[in-house]
Amino acid sequence: MTSGVDVNDLLERAFSSYVKACLRHAQKDYFEKLMRDSAYVVPLDAVTFEIDINFLNSSPQHTAA
What global pTM score does this model have? 0.47
In whole angstroms, give the CA distance from residue 6 to residue 34. 42
* Residue 59 DSSP one-character state: S
Residue 12 has pLDDT above 90, yes or no: yes
pLDDT, tens only, 16-34: 999 999 999 999 999 888 8
Residue 2 has pLDDT above 70, yes or no: no
Q: For residue 36, what pLDDT is reported? A: 84
CA 43, 54, 45 angle in degrees (round to 5)? 15
In whole angstroms, give the CA distance from residue 54 to residue 51. 5
pLDDT, tens only, 33-59: 888 887 776 666 666 666 666 666 665
